[in-house]
Amino acid sequence: MVKVVILGQGYVGSIFALGVERIKNGDLGYYGVPLANELPIKIEEIEIVGSYDVDKSKIGRSLYEVVKLYWDNNIPESLKSIVVRKGIHLRSLKNLPIEAEGLEDEMTLSEVVEKLIEEWKDLKAEVFINVCTTEASVPFESKEELIKAIEENNKERLTATQVYTYAIAKYAKEVGGAAFVNAIPTLIANDPAFVELAKESNLVIFGDDGATGATPLTADILSHLAQRNRYVKDIAQFNIGGNTDFLALTDKERNKSKEFTKSSIVKDILGYDAPHYIKPTGFLEPLGDKKFIAMHIEYVSFNGAVDELMITGRINDSPALAGLLVDLARLGKLAIERREFGTVYPVNAFYMKNPGPKEMGNIPRIIAYEKMRVWAGLNPKWF
């Protein structure tokens, strides 16, 4: 069994819960899950035991009711037994048209941490998946600074993800092991403060920011060009979507953290910083979850010839990440069993836009895929 807690019961969290239950019921195959059912831990062993949100209209409702906001037919009855609990808010939904509340409204952050740890012990939680709204955040770099901010109840300095991770580390230390999958851009696997804390707390961290959409595709195209020694002159890549994630990204500070995780691929893969514009660009409600992506890459080939690639697509946003989470939940459990605490680069390099730890960069995903398989104990596919 893999006991999973979802942090942020939005579009991705709901499609993840729905898809896992549909697979268990035999309603759905494994497309969109990179490792399908190759791992020793089977998809059918994933059990969602808890869910947290800060949207007042979701707290206290069953997962069945929340999933219904995103999907309207054949929702598995099994989702009726899980109730969405109140999480840590800390400005996560600031400036968004959503009424929010958080545990910290009534207690200090240290008390919130203790309360959550007790709840997780009851749930026997093992893997925590963070799919909260994108935050504007500043990394800590030093573990002491992080602990100080919690102890001093510094609500301005900390984001919800940072406090969740701290709480999960403390929980992992008490129960002997846990995993945290950070699918959002907040730097956690890339913040040495959290990696150090994880190592001494029996915590596995995967992160940061799930690699879906146009970014991993751009990374693969850039490696294709790099391997042929073509010189990339410039890259324009943008996304326009109509889900609340895109709405949140219209906020400048939040967009900055997304832009950072997306842009890190250019220098990492090419070895030079080709001029680029890579960021979520806009919100257009009628597009819904099926975003519009476009990419333009100009490069120099032999004899100075200049070529251009132009790619456009409509991509369902949430299922792309939810499928990766089905692997990450199981790989998290595998890492706990192996006691590989801290962060695991071979997993991050394939599944994350900004793979931690901080000193490691992006590598072509076709290579990362093979390394990840080997780490997971599977045979490489093409090597």
Ligand X SMILES: NC(=O)c1ccc[n+]([C@@H]2O[C@H](COP(=O)([O-])OP(=O)(O)OC[C@H]3O[C@@H](n4cnc5c(N)ncnc54)[C@H](O)[C@@H]3O)[C@@H](O)[C@H]2O)c1
Q: 82 vs 320, which CB is nearer to ligand X?
A: 320
In the complex, what is the shortest distance from the CB of residue 266 to ligand X, in angstroms, rounded to a whole number?
18
CB of 123 to ligand X, least distance (A): 16
Distances (CA, A) of 241 to 1, 11, 152, 307: 36, 13, 39, 29
Of the two residues 160 and 266, which places its CB atom closer to ligand X in the complex?
Answer: 160
- Shorter beta-carbon distance to ligand X: residue 177 or 210: 210
DSSP 8-class letter at 188? S
Is residue 25 within 8 Å of 76, Cβ to Cβ?
yes
- What is the number of other CB atoms lying within 10 angstroms of the CB of residue 310? 10
Nearer to ligand X, 56 or 228 (CB): 56
Closest distance between ligand X and the C-beta of residue 302, in Å? Answer: 37
Least Å from the CB of residue 120 to ligand X: 14
Q: HSE of 134 in the Cβ direction (CA atoms, 13 Å)? A: 24
Q: Which is nearer to ligand X, 95 or 142 (CB)?
A: 95
- Asked whether the CA dihedral 154, 341, 46, 242 is positive or negative, the reply is positive
Q: Give 230 or 291: the residue with its C-beta nearer to ligand X.
A: 291
Q: Compare residues 133 and 190 and give the one whose CB is closer to ligand X.
A: 133
Closest residue to ligand X in the complex (CB): 10
Question: Nearest approach, Cβ of 299 to ligand X (angstroms)?
Answer: 27
240 Cβ contact list (under 8 Å, min separation 6): 246, 280, 281, 282, 283, 284, 287, 291, 292
Instruction: Find the shortest distance in angstroms from Cβ 206 to ligand X.
Output: 13
Cis peptide before 364 (omega within 30 of 0): no
Backbone angles phi, psi at 147, to 5 degrees: -60, -40
Closest distance of CB 26 from ligand X, Å: 26
CB-neighbour burial class of residue 365 (10 A; exposed 0-12, middle 13-18, buried 19+): buried
Residue reference for tokens 């605490």: 341
Q: Cβ closer to ligand X: 177 or 356? A: 356
State the nearest-atom distance from the C-beta of 7 to ligand X, in Å: 5
The least distance separating ligand X from the CB of residue 305, rounded to whole angstroms, comes to 35
| Beta-sheet pairing, 276-283 with 306-316 | unpaired
In whole angstroms, how close is the CB of 37 to ligand X at the nearest point? 22
Task: With CA atoms as reference, report the closest residue to 133 among 41, 13, 229, 308.
Answer: 13
Q: Note the residues at the interface with ligand X (CB under 6 A).
A: 7-13, 52-55, 87-89, 92-93, 131-134, 160, 183-184, 209-210, 212-213, 243-245, 317-318, 320-321
Which residue in 191, 180, 189 sits closest to 138, CA to CA? 191
> What does 111-156 look like in DSSP terms, one character per residue?
HHHHHHHHHHHHHT--EEEE-PPP-------SHHHHHHHHHTT-TT
- Residue 63: name the closest of 120, 116, 102, 20 by CA: 20
Between 206 and 299, whose beta carbon lies closer to ligand X?
206
Nearer to ligand X, 131 or 328 (CB): 131
